Structure 1
Amino acid sequence: MKLFVTGACGYKGTVLVPKLLEHGHEVVAFDIQWFGNHLLPHPNLTMVKGDIRNIDEVDLEGVDAVIHLSSVANDPCGDLDPKLTWEISCLATMQLADRAKRVGVKQFIYASSGSVYGVSDEPQVTEDLELFPLSEYNKTKMCGERIVLSYENDMTVQIVRPATVCGYSPRMRLDVSVNMLTMQALENGKITVFGGEQTRPNIHIDDITDLYVFLLHNPQHTGVYNAGFENLKIREIAEMVGEHVDAEVVVTPSNDPRSYRVNSDKLLATGFRPKKTVRDAIRELAGLHSQGVLKNEPSFYNLNWMQEEVL
């Protein structure tokens, strides 16, 4: 198949694209490359440096499926410039979906976020619960979902609400919980936990990228799917890090009470199974750091990098 992947140079995209190529697909990797390009050349890979807001730069001719990953990722970055966030994460999604329908794209996979639920006291957050997005990032993801679902009679629509992703990518992120705590331990011998009792759902980067491949190859599974398999307290994650890295854990007060857990039974019913855990991610990160592969680079922190280099 010929695939058009937006956000292809991002944290998930940089892991996903090689997997798609391994499966024999032809991939057009579209990305504005704010954080660089860590994808290796491949005969079936076409790199396009472009802005998803400029629909004229998007060529979907002959494309069988779109995997739409691009957005202004995470709450702090989304709040930096709300107008930019809405343009990229909502308006551009609408234009992309409309273009896909017009040229006859058969399948559209949209990367939403588990954060669209907002703060929930529900013991099991399932896909049919009402959404209460709090930040610009959450709100644009919810709107993006509604837009893409409006095309479900025109093409196969599959929406993924990922938990917080962890693990290694060549375009690393060190501003997400597991990765951040592990790097703190590796670099400083100390882990600072704010609060610690907040629960967060997690998913390994290999599992979330495997899921996109699974959905691509199984278009019969349509609709919205949660994707998170370990609901852990931040304190528990810090303790796991401590099992692999000798570091002091310091707990300080937090003004962030957000705590939520997701239920992924609907996804498991499709036959998809995760293969890795948070512990695997921590162990892999520690090993790659000791080998000098994983480094503490400024571009691995989205908020600071956007403030200093993008906006």
Structure 2
Amino acid sequence: MRVLVTGACGYKGSVLVPKLLAKAHEVVAFDIQWFGNCLRPHPALTVVKGDVRDPRQIDLDGVDAVIHLASIANDPCGDLDPKLTWEVSCLATMQLADACARRGIRRFLYASSGSVYGVKEEEQVTEDLELVPISEYNKTKMCAERILLSYADDMVVQIVRPATVCGFSPRMRLDVSVNMLTMQALTKGRITVFGGNQTRPNIHIQDITDLYLFLLDNPQHAGIYNAGFENLSILEIARMVQQHVPSEVVVSPSNDPRSYRVNSDKLLATGFRPMHTVEDAIKELVGMYRQGALQDEDRWYNLKWMKAKVLS
């Protein structure tokens, strides 16, 4: 299968693309490369540096399926330039979906976000609950979902709402909770927790990328799926990090009210099973750091890097 992956050089894409290649897929990796390109050359890999906002730059010739990862990732980055966020995360999605439908491409897999639910009082957040997004990032994800579902008669649309992803990637991110707290412990011996009691869902990067492969292999599972398997408080994650890295935990007040438990029963009913845990991610990161294969660098923090290199 010839698969177009947008955002292919990002945190998840850099793990997903090698897996697609290992399964004998031909991959077109499309990315603007604001954060560089960590993909290794491969005979079945074509890397295209381009802007997803310009559909003329995206060659759909021979493409059988699209895995659409490209977006302005996370709330702080989305709020930096709302116009850019809407153009990249929503308008470009609409243009790409329309182009795919016109070309007869029958498979479209979209990486949404578990944050589209907003603040929820329900103990279990399921796919049928009302979406109340509270940031530009969340809002663009919700709108992109609605746009893609309008094409469900033209192609198989599979939408994944991932929890917060954790674990090692060649294109690392240290601005997501598990990774960030682990790096704080390693470099400072001190973990700063804001609030601490907020519960958030998590998913290992190996599991989320395996899920994309699973859905690609199983087009009968169309629709929307939550993907989060460990609902942990920030303080619980910090205590888990402490078990592997001697460190002090400091709790500070937080103005972020979000606390929710994602229910992924619908996904589990398809037969998909996660194979990795938050603790696995922590141990991986600790091992990579101590081997010298992971460092605390500005380019692994989206907001800091975008301010300095993209929007400066």
TM over 0.5: yes
Distance 2:257 2:94 in 1: 33
Structure 2 equivalent of residue 214 of structure 1: 214
Distance 1:102 1:170 in 2: 35
Residues 41-71 of structure 1: CA deviation (Å, up to 9, x unaligned): 0000000000000010011111000000000
Residues 185-210 of structure 1: CA deviation (Å, up to 9, x unaligned): 00011101111001100000000000
Spell out structure 1 runs of 4+ moving beyond 2 A.
none
Give 1:260 deviation, angstroms: 1.2
AA paired with 2:235? R
Q: 1:1-311, aligned counterparts within 5 Å?
A: 1-311=1-311
Give 1:2 deviation, angstroms: 0.2
Distance 2:236 2:226 in 1: 22
Give 1:123 deviation, angstroms: 0.5
Give 1:169 deviation, angstroms: 0.3
Distance 2:259 2:115 in 1: 10
Q: Which runs of 5+ in 2 are unaligned?
A: none
AA paired with 2:112? S
Give 1:255 deviation, angstroms: 1.4
Distance 2:121 2:294 in 1: 37
Q: How many residues align?
A: 311
SS in 2 for 1:244: coil
AA paired with 2:223? G
SS in 2 for 1:109: strand
Give 1:21 deviation, angstroms: 0.2
Distance 2:87 2:136 in 1: 11
Residues 154-186 of structure 1: CA deviation (Å, up to 9, x unaligned): 011000000000000010000000000000000
AA paired with 1:108? F
SS in 2 for 1:168: coil
Distance 2:112 2:267 in 1: 15
Give 1:279 deviation, angstroms: 0.3
Distance 1:69 1:268 in 2: 22
Give 1:11 deviation, angstroms: 0.2
TM-score (ref. length: structure 2): 0.99
Distance 2:282 2:58 in 1: 37
Residues 87-141 of structure 1: CA deviation (Å, up to 9, x unaligned): 0000000000000111111100000000000010110100000000000000000
AA paired with 1:183? M
SS in 2 for 1:216: helix
TM-score (ref. length: structure 1): 1.00
Q: How large is the Cα RMSD of the aligned pairs?
A: 0.4
Q: Which runs of 5+ in 1 are unaligned?
A: none
Distance 1:148 1:177 in 2: 29
Distance 1:244 1:97 in 2: 44
AA paired with 1:184? Q
Alignment identity in percent? 76
SS in 1 for 2:67: strand
Distance 1:260 1:80 in 2: 25
